[in-house]
Amino acid sequence: MTFEPARERGRTPGRMRSAVLGVAAGAVAVSAFIALSGTADAASTLGASAGASGRYFGTAVAANKLSDATYVGILDREFTMVTPENEMKWDATEPNQDSFSYADADRIVSHATGIGARVRGHALAWHSQQPGWVQNLSGTALRSAMLNHVTQVATHYRGRIYAWDVVNEAFADGGSGARRDSNLQRTGNDWIEAAFRAARAADPTAKLCYNDYNTDGQNAKSNAVYAMVQDFKSRGVPIDCVGFQSHFNAQSPVPGDYQANLQRFANLGVEVQITELDIEGSGSTQADAFARVVQACLHVTACTGITVWGIRDTDSWRAGGTPLLFDGNGGKKAAYTSVLNTLDGGGTSNPPSSSTPPPPSGAACTATFSTNAWSGGFVTTVKVTAGSSALSSWSVGVTLPGGSAVTSAWNAQGTGTSGAVQFANVSYNARVAAGGSTEFGFQGTGSAPSAAPTCTVSLT
């Protein structure tokens, strides 16, 4: 990892402990953290420090640990938001069709309420941790079961959830920008918006989030989520927040554009939340990476809070990577003190995000697509969105799989029918306002294109 937080902190050394950390390294840094945490930070907690800027600091909680005194002691002292780690998932809440079991989740919710913490609900619709009966469903039976599940669970917790992860992990990894293939996705591309609408109807008081991983920096996957959120906003599909899981390690470090990525989502008019933060590692490297994540959230006004995915390293779903803020004995790690110092403003100064607009995306236009495919044919809808300048004409390139052919198109003029096909605007949709969008579509035989279309333009 190539972080440079020590130098950043050094720019505004304001507090003595920051200056010390700015020059310390390795084992020296660890002992400096420990020595100082007992003095300067004695009165502060993660929740209180995050609360000073109106944010929450949360953790995932497992019901079976609520009898562990050390665990509960830290939970009650430090955290102001709670996410049930597994207890609200489909396999836990509806183990048999139409038979709901809320005991474990209810215990977590009532514990959270007892300590004045709020709750993030996780997760209503997800391809993973489905009960067996769901895994065996498909088509309209699965769609109905999913909508019933969303409605029942969101209704049970109505008024008690700050934000729901309505849909979790629905996009594919890699460069395709496509939806993840799953039984839910195979019920039709509109399953996500259907889930959000059902959640809103069941609990109008909860914020509704889309949550995913590998979307923490700008990449094909986060671009696809971005396009979906933009589309939902433009069509009035209810969505209030986007969750960034933020599971990091040496192979998947905190991206350099983490803050910019949070900001571009915020600019769509949604809250952004860091929902499952953990960073494998140890010592000052780990502490610095945590500081960068916290700093990024503090710099984005719409970043309303941070949740770590467990309390002690030994509580983690990937305990071997020691990715959390407390060691197995419940002791504060260097990462803890780093997070606390950053929340307390011990790092760089914290300009309001309104004064630091993100750089323009660079793209004059973007094209996103959705496809309805059946055996032997498909319909693809493409949305062309202008960047920060208006368009006077546009053209979109699509690569068809071998053996596929376009048979008709609407709202665009096609050139070629197989291989690399080009679609140009027609007269009535040539002009697209800055930030605006227009749609066209085409039908074909064979299998649908899977790669994201490319968009080229003339600017006005």
Q: Is the CB of 63 or the CB of 112 nearer to ligand XIL? A: 63
State the nearest-atom distance from the C-beta of 128 to ligand XIL, in Å.
Answer: 7
Q: Is the CB of 30 or the CB of 161 nearer to ligand XIL? A: 161
Q: Are 410 and 440 in contact (CB under 8 A)?
A: yes
Residue nearest to ligand XIL (CB): 317
Q: Is the CB of 3 or the CB of 317 nearer to ligand XIL? A: 317
State the nearest-atom distance from the C-beta of 404 to ligand XIL, in Å.
Answer: 35
State the nearest-atom distance from the C-beta of 308 to ligand XIL, in Å.
Answer: 12
Instruction: Considering only CA atoms, give the Rg of the chain.
Output: 24
Q: Is the CB of 214 or the CB of 285 nearer to ligand XIL? A: 214
In whole angstroms, give the CA distance from residue 91 to residue 206.
22
Q: Is the CB of 323 or the CB of 449 nearer to ligand XIL? A: 323
CB atoms within 10 A of CB 362: 8
Site residues (vs ligand XIL, CB under 6 A): 85-86, 168, 245, 276, 317
CA 85 to chain centre: 16
State the nearest-atom distance from the C-beta of 126 to ligand XIL, in Å.
Answer: 7
Quick one: tokens of 234? 């433009």
Compute CA distances 419 → 394, 400, 450, whole Å: 20, 5, 12
H or E stretch covering 208 = strand 207-212
Is 85 known to be catalytic? no
Is 169 known to be catalytic? yes
In whole angstroms, give the CA distance from residue 24 to residue 20.
6
CB atoms within 10 A of CB 329: 9
CB atoms within 10 A of CB 46: 24
- Catalytic-role residue among 94, 193, 271, 276: 276
State the nearest-atom distance from the C-beta of 228 to ligand XIL, in Å.
Answer: 18
SS (H, E, C) 50-117: HHCCCCEEEEEECHHHCCCHHHHHHHHHHCCEEEECCCCCHHHHCCECCECCCHHHHHHHHHHHHCCC
Catalytically active residues are: 169, 276
